[in-house]
């Protein structure tokens, strides 16, 4: 009987010692070994190597992220830091006669944004300064384009118009200068052109196009000799892309029903493909890299079998490998980073 009591007492003491040791290990070793809070990825956004815990010393970009928001039917161009701590409205259509219908990637060198303002079928292009002055210049009356882009220096504009005319049937990429002069058709295709983006010096355009089967490709064109070069062939739909200041192209590959996606990065020639992250409950769209490559910004939104450009979603930033994901606000489009 005494032997049994001793065994029980010994077992209890062992449990107490183990518990105390675990507490001390957690209290004085684990907690003191990390001085920065590690923020895990959100449930719906998964790191490509989600089993790896992100390091606490990951640097955050000093670039500012710019996005388009829709609040109570008022559209606003908003600027914020990568942590979502300093949101500021740069431009709003609240008191404008024409309302913002679409926007494109910012011209980060001239610090401007190109907006299409007007109705559902026609309106005007406006170039708006991103200094908070609300200054804008009108280009011309035009039909609403399905996509458009402005070069980083603000000097060149490209836009996509669909034509039923036999000689130019299909989707046409048209280029012009910032005053709306010297317009010319650069490229024509029967396939749907989803999105356009200029490289840093404005000499080339990258764009996504989708065929009748729902498969997308990424192509690029030189403005001097517009010979299409396909640099990536996707197995499903690629709704948007951007060409970063340092030459990388970032894009998302959505599933056929637009319920999930994978965010990728590659070089301007289509090589060095890198998976950044996966989204399970929504599609990552409008992705952009900061100029120092320390952050990626994107919008996660839910779509119903078809990608549209006016759906409100979560504006998010993360590290370049999909770590430390932060929701910084709500919006309908990421416009880019300002160095």
Cα distances (Å, whole numbers) of residue 160 to 92, 188, 192: 25, 9, 10
My answer on whether 9 and 132 are in the same domain is no
My answer on whether 287 and 141 are in the same domain is yes
My answer on whether 19 and 57 are in the same domain is no
In this predicted model, what pLDDT tens digit does every residue of 84-114 receive, in sequence order?
Answer: 999 999 999 999 999 999 999 999 999 999 9
Compute φ and ψ for 33, nearest 5 degrees: -85, -15
**46 falls in which pLDDT band (50, 70, 90)?**
low
29-43, 63-77, 184-198, 258-272: segment of lowest average pLDDT: 29-43
d(CA 164, CA 321): 43
Helix (H, G, I), strand (E, B) or coil at 260: coil
My answer on whether 104 and 214 are in the same domain is yes
Name the pairing type of β-strands 64-71 and 333-338: antiparallel
In this predicted model, what pLDDT tens digit does every residue of 150-199 receive, in sequence order?
Answer: 999 999 999 999 999 988 899 999 999 999 999 999 999 999 999 999 99
My answer on whether 92 and 184 are in the same domain is yes
Strand runs (DSSP E) across 49-94, as ranges? 64-71, 74-80, 88-92
Contact between residue 64 and residue 78 where contact means Cβ atoms under 8 Å apart: no
My answer on whether 16 and 109 are in the same domain is no
Domain that holds residue 8: 1-33
Cβ-proximal residues to 84 (8 Å cutoff; 6+ apart), any chain: 315, 317, 326, 327, 328, 329
Compute φ and ψ for 61, nearest 5 degrees: -65, 150
d(CA 201, CA 175): 15
My answer on whether 19 and 67 are in the same domain is no
Name the pairing type of β-strands 204-210 and 216-222: antiparallel
My answer on whether 216 and 169 are in the same domain is yes
pLDDT of 54 higher than 60: no
My answer on whether 126 and 11 are in the same domain is no
Cα distances (Å, whole numbers) of residue 158 to 163, 186, 237: 16, 9, 22
Q: For residue 26, what pLDDT is reported?
A: 38
Q: Which CATH number fits the domain that encloses residue 297?
A: 2.120.10.30
Number of structural domains in the chain: 2
d(CA 185, CA 309): 24
DSSP 121-187: SEEEEEEEESSSS--EEEEEEEEPPSEEEE-TTS-EEEEEEEE-SGGG-EEEEEEEETTS-S-EEEE
Cβ-proximal residues to 245 (8 Å cutoff; 6+ apart), any chain: 108, 152, 200, 289, 291, 339
My answer on whether 60 and 189 are in the same domain is yes
- Give the other-Cβ count within 10 Å of 200's Cβ: 17
My answer on whether 280 and 171 are in the same domain is yes
d(CA 214, CA 222): 26
Residue 66 DSSP one-character state: E
**12 falls in which pLDDT band (50, 70, 90)?**
very low
In this predicted model, what pLDDT tens digit does every residue of 262-280 receive, in sequence order?
Answer: 999 999 999 999 999 999 9
My answer on whether 23 and 52 are in the same domain is no
Residue in the block written with tokens 């295709």: 189
């Amino acid at each position: 009987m005494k032997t049994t009591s001793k065994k029980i007492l010994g077992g209890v003491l062992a449990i107490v010692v183990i518990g105390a040791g675990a507490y001390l290990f957690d209290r004085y070793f684990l907690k003191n070994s990390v001085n920065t809070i590690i923020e895990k990825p959100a449930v719906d956004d998964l790191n490509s190597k989600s089993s790896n815990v992100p390091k606490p010393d990951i640097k955050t970009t000093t670039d500012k992220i710019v996005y388009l928001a829709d609040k109570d039917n008022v559209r606003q161009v908003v600027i914020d830091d990568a942590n979502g701590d300093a949101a500021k409205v740069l431009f709003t259509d609240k008191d404008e006669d024409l309302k913002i219908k679409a926007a494109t990637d910012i011209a980060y060198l001239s610090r401007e944004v190109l907006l299409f303002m007007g109705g559902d079928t026609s309106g005007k292009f406006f170039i708006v300064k991103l200094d908070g002055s609300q200054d804008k210049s009108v280009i011309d009356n035009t039909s609403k384009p399905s996509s458009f882009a402005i070069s980083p220096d603000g000097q060149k504009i490209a836009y996509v118009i669909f034509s039923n005319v036999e000689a130019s049937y299909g989707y046409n990429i048209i280029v012009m200068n910032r005053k709306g002069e010297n317009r010319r058709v650069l490229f024509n295709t029967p396939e749907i052109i989803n999105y356009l983006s200029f490289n840093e010096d404005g000499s080339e355009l990258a764009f996504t196009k989708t065929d009748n089967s729902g498969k997308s490709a990424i192509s690029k064109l030189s403005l001097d000799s517009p010979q299409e070069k396909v640099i990536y062939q996707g197995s499903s739909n690629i709704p948007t892309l951007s060409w970063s200041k340092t030459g990388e192209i970032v894009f998302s590959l959505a599933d056929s029903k637009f319920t999930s996606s994978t965010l990728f990065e590659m070089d301007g020639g289509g090589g060095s493909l890198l998976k950044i992250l996966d989204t399970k409950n929504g599609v990552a769209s409008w992705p952009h890299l900061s100029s120092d490559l320390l952050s990626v910004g994107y919008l996660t939104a839910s779509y119903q079998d078809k990608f549209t450009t006016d759906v409100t979603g979560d504006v998010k930033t993360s590290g370049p490998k999909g770590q430390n994901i932060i929701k910084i606000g709500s919006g309908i489009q990421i416009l880019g980073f300002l160095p």
